[in-house]
């Protein structure tokens, strides 16, 4: 396990940077309970570790603790795996003994329900910008409902304006994702350059370790040129998560095209739901996600000691 030296020691636990060689050990813990929030896959945690400055510690081979830093101070993400009563008590004692208020971020509803004795010691504050959007895969694949008339019209216009075809992503074509990302970055300047630069780091890591992370992807080609892509993986037995989805904005309706074609692939693979992650409080992103009529918005909470 731990092929990299510890980054630091927090609460008496050694925390390590995510390394691809640790994937099996971490996946084993993540699979002990169905995950609902999109961040809790190895691929996502590893790809975004630099953006969120987080690391991990495995305790007793079956408990995964996740650390993140805010303004240079260490905080925690939701504990994963077998969180025994003794581990809960020990962690609670260490949080109480801290010389600054420790937060536990990105906590799901299921965690609150599963560990009421631990959670009763905390205020649970909703993190609205980090709530996940959940959709029925067949809804996005068929766009059959009257709600999706505008989406269908945009896709129909796309078919009239340019030729396109969907192809599964292959290792030989992964570099094309960066060209598409760069072409879409300028139009996303309103979301902030820092957000775009962090996303680029996460994308590069995902592409560099695409097969090892068990990721899948889809390209949209127009006249032999890749103009849109998506990258996704399994989150749990019935839900897939889409981590990246980018398109060249000059092609009208292309975002609607890549969204639907990705949903078709995931529905064909047997997934009932698609988690399309959070909106980060970005108005345009929030509008785009709500316009596809999610069947649920999965809450994320931040726990602060009472």
Give the containing element (helix H, strand E) for 201: helix 193-208
Q: Is residue 1 part of a domain?
A: no
Q: Is residue 32 part of a domain?
A: yes
Asked whether residue 194 falls in the same domain as residue 79, the answer is no
What pLDDT was estimated at residue 121? Answer: 98
The set of residues, in sequence order, having a beta carbon less than 8 Å from that of 95 and lying 6+ positions away, is: 11, 102, 305
The set of residues, in sequence order, having a beta carbon less than 8 Å from that of 118 and lying 6+ positions away, is: 83, 88, 91, 92
Q: Is residue 168 part of a domain?
A: yes
Asked whether residue 136 falls in the same domain as residue 125, the answer is no
What pLDDT was estimated at residue 271? Answer: 98
Asked whether residue 144 falls in the same domain as residue 270, the answer is yes
Asked whether residue 54 falls in the same domain as residue 100, the answer is yes
What pLDDT was estimated at residue 2? Answer: 54
Asked whether residue 46 falls in the same domain as residue 116, the answer is yes
* Domain-terminating residue out of 114, 131, 148: 131
* Domain-terminating residue out of 97, 131, 165: 131
Written as tens digits, the pLDDT of the chain (306 aa) is 555 556 667 878 899 999 999 999 999 999 998 899 999 999 999 999 999 999 999 999 999 999 999 888 999 999 999 999 999 999 999 999 999 999 999 999 999 999 999 999 999 999 999 999 999 999 999 999 999 999 999 999 999 999 999 999 987 788 899 999 988 876 555 555 678 889 999 999 999 999 999 999 999 999 999 999 999 999 999 999 999 999 998 999 999 999 999 999 999 999 999 999 999 999 999 999 999 999 999 999 999 999
Asked whether residue 58 falls in the same domain as residue 175, the answer is no
Asked whether residue 170 falls in the same domain as residue 118, the answer is no
What pLDDT was estimated at residue 11? Answer: 78
What pLDDT was estimated at residue 187? Answer: 57
16/7 Cα distance (integer angstroms): 5
pTM of this structure: 0.93
Structural domain total, the chain: 2
Q: Is residue 138 part of a domain?
A: yes
Give the containing element (helix H, strand E) for 114: helix 109-114
Asked whether residue 239 falls in the same domain as residue 140, the answer is yes
Tell me the residue range of the domain where 97 lies.
Answer: 8-131
Q: Is residue 292 part of a domain?
A: no
What pLDDT was estimated at residue 301? Answer: 98
Q: Is residue 85 part of a domain?
A: yes
137/102 Cα distance (integer angstroms): 38
Query: What CATH number is given to the structural domain containing 150?
Result: 3.40.630.30
301/112 Cα distance (integer angstroms): 9
Asked whether residue 87 falls in the same domain as residue 101, the answer is yes
Q: What are the angstrom distances between the C-alpha of 300 and each of 80, 185, 199?
A: 15, 27, 21
Q: Is residue 223 part of a domain?
A: yes
Q: Is residue 285 part of a domain?
A: no
* Domain-terminating residue out of 131, 155, 187: 131
């Amino acid at each position: 396990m731990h092929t990299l030296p510890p980054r630091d020691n927090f609460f008496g636990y050694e925390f390590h940077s995510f390394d691809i060689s640790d994937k099996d050990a971490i996946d084993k813990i993540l699979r002990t309970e169905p995950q609902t929030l999109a961040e809790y896959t190895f691929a996502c945690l590893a790809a975004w570790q630099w953006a969120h400055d987080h690391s991990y510690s495995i305790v007793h081979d079956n408990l995964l603790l996740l650390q993140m830093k805010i303004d240079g101070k260490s905080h925690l993400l939701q504990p994963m795996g077998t969180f025994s009563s003794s581990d809960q008590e020990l962690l609670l004692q260490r949080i109480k003994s801290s010389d600054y208020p420790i937060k536990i971020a990105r906590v799901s509803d299921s965690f609150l329900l599963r560990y009421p004795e631990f959670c009763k010691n905390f205020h649970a504050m909703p993190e609205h910008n980090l709530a996940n959007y959940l959709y029925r895969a067949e809804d996005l694949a068929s766009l059959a409902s009257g709600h999706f008339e505008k989406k269908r019209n945009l896709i129909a216009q796309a078919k009239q304006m340019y030729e396109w075809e969907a192809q599964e992503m292959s290792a030989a074509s992964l570099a094309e994702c960066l060209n598409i990302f760069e072409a879409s970055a300028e139009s996303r300047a309103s979301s902030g350059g820092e957000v775009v630069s962090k996303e680029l780091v996460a994308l590069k890591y995902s592409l560099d370790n695409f097969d090892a992370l068990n990721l899948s992807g889809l390209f949209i080609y127009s006249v032999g040129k890749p103009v849109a892509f998506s990258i996704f993986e399994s989150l749990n037995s019935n839900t897939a998560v889409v981590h990246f989805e980018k398109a060249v904005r000059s092609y009208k309706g292309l975002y609607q095209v890549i969204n639907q074609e990705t949903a078709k692939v995931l529905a064909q693979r047997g997934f009932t739901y698609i988690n399309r992650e959070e909106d980060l409080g970005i108005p345009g992103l929030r509008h785009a996600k709500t316009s596809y009529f999610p069947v649920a918005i999965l809450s994320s909470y931040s726990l602060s000691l009472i």
